[in-house]
C-alpha cells in the first residue's frame, strides 16, 4: 500500500520563484527522505529528516516534518531551470522495518 503521497502531482513555476511540495503519510515513521529524479532513471538523495526533527536545511532546500499531521514539505527557494525534475518522498516506518516506501512524486517544471 502507498505510504507517502505527494501533492501537487505537477508544479510549473518561473525561475527565481519558490517551489513547495507536500507529502502525506499514513503510519508512524522512523524517518522521511526526499529524492530527486531526472529523466526517469536513477534517483538522487536530497534530505533525510528523522521523526524527532522538525526542520532541516540543505543549501536552497528546506524540509519540514509535522508528525502530528503526518506530513512533510519540501521547499526549494530561488528555483532554477536545472531544478526541473520529479521529486519523491519516501518513508521508513510502519510495520516493515527498513523498507523504504516511495510516493508517486511531484513533477516540477521551472521555466527560464
**Interacting residue ranges for another protein, rule: CB under 8 A:** 2, 30-31, 33, 35, 40-45, 48, 88, 90, 92, 96-105
Nearer to another protein among residue 6 and residue 83 (C-beta)? 6
C-alpha cell recorded at residue 89: 518522498
CB of 16 to another protein, least distance (A): 28
CB of 11 to another protein, least distance (A): 16
- Sort 63 into a burial class: Cβ within 10 Å, 0-12 / 13-18 / 19+: buried
CB of 87 to another protein, least distance (A): 11
Quick one: DSSP state of residue 83? G
Cα(51)–Cα(54) distance, integer angstroms: 8
Nearer to another protein among residue 14 and residue 84 (C-beta)? 84
Amino acid at each position: 500500500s502507498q505510504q507517502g503521497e505527494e501533492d501537487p502531482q505537477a508544479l510549473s513555476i518561473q525561475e527565481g520563484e519558490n517551489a513547495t511540495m507536500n507529502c502525506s503519510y499514513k503510519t508512524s515513521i522512523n524517518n522521511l527522505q526526499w529524492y530527486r529524479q531526472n529523466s526517469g532513471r536513477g534517483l538522487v538523495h536530497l534530505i533525510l529528516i528523522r521523526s524527532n526533527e522538525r526542520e532541516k536545511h540543505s543549501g536552497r532546500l528546506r524540509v519540514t516534518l509535522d508528525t502530528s499531521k503526518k506530513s512533510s514539505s519540501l521547499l526549494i527557494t530561488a528555483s532554477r531551470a536545472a531544478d526541473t525534475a520529479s521529486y519523491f518522498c519516501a518513508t521508513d516506518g510502519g510495520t516493515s522495518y527498513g523498507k523504504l516506501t516511495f510516493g508517486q512524486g511531484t513533477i516540477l517544471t521551472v521555466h527560464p
